[in-house]
Each structure stands twice: as C-alpha cells, then as structure tokens.
Amino acid sequence: MTPRPFKVLGIQQIAIGGLDKTRLQRLWIDMLGLEMTGTFKSERENVDEDICTMGRGATRVEVDLMQPLDPEKKPAVHTTPLNHVGLWIDDLPKAVEWLTAQGVRFAPGGVRKGAAGYDICFLHPKSNEEFPIAGEGVLIELVQAPPDVIAALG
C-alpha cells in the first residue's frame, strides 16, 4: 500500500435526520443551546436542513438537523436518525484519489460544494465487488478543511 497522502484532522459535523426537523430543533437548539448558523435546501439531496454549531473557531463542530423535502424520495435523510459523520480532510482531492485506488467505494455525486460551502464527497455505506471497502453501514462525509482548521488541527 502506498503512503497515505492526506490526514483526517477531526470531526467537522454530525447530521441528524427526522421527518420533522422542528422536533430536532426543540432538543438541539432550545434545550441544548446550539446556535443555528444557516439553512440549506436541495432537491438533488432531498433535504431541508438547519445548520447549527457548537464550540468556536476552527474547532467548532457542525450539527445538521435534516428533514426530507419528500419522504418518499431518495436519499432518505430521515430513515437513519444519525444520518452521517463529517470528517475534516486536509487535502480532499488527494484523499479521493488515494482512497479510490485502495478500493474505497464513494457514493454518487462526486466532489461538490456542501451545505456549509466546503468541498465534500461521501464514502458509500456499503461495499461491492468493485469497491470492497466502505463505511460498513455508516455514511461518511469527507470535508475539505479550510486553512484555519488545517492550522489548528493539522
């Protein structure tokens, strides 16, 4: 195996799904005191999302509260309450290239801008014959870390 040309720096986010995000808001914002810092809607991703944060600066962690735009469509952001974990990556293009060469399966969609404005992509939760390594049931988002996060966590 070739040396890994990237580093996982820390947790960027967790995403929590439900049929009605107002119930999630009640816990995460009203009860636990997270700050709502943005929203995101995407027909392609079938999501209506509130972006919340805990902590400050480069070490803050995002908590995304998600509900589907249409519960009958895919992706079904509400069917797994803990929808995915996001990891800060110091060099996303190198990570994708290296992981693909090692047999890691990525979800469709490729590298793209995510809800918070960073480049992202997802590791598929299930492996297949062509790509025998995957998230073992967990959807994992790789997120390009901005310079301040790389400096703080790298």
Going by DSSP bridges, is the β-strand pair 82-89/112-113 parallel, antiparallel, or unpaired? unpaired
Q: Which domains does the chain have, with CATH numbers?
A: 8-153 (3.10.180.10)
Q: What percent of the chain has pLDDT over 90?
A: 84
Of the candidates 80, 48, 79, the one whose C-alpha atom is nearest the C-alpha of residue 65 is: 48
* pLDDT at residue 61 greater than cutoff 90: yes
Give residue-wise pLDDT tens across range 29-51. 998 899 999 999 999 999 999 99
What was the pLDDT predicted at 65?
94
State the DSSP H helix or E strand holding residue 88, giving kind and residue range, or none if neither: strand 82-89
What was the pLDDT predicted at 55?
87
Q: b vs e for 100-127, b when ≥16 Cβ sit within 10 Å of the residue's Cβ?
A: eeeebbbbeeebeebbbebbbbbbbbeb
Q: Please name every residue paired with 62 in a beta bridge, in sequence order, or none if there are none.
A: 13, 53
What tokens does 49 get? 């999302």
Q: How confident is the model at residue 19 (pLDDT cuts 50, 70, 90)?
A: very high
Work out the average pLDDT over 111-136. Answer: 94
* pLDDT at residue 88 greater than cutoff 90: yes
Contact 112, 139 (CB under 8 A): no
What was the pLDDT predicted at 32?
83
What was the pLDDT predicted at 60?
92
What was the pLDDT predicted at 50?
97
What was the pLDDT predicted at 83?
83
Contact 57, 152 (CB under 8 A): yes
Pick the range with the lowest mean pLDDT from 12-16, 58-62, 79-83, 121-125. 79-83
Question: What pTM, to 2 d.p., does this model score?
Answer: 0.83
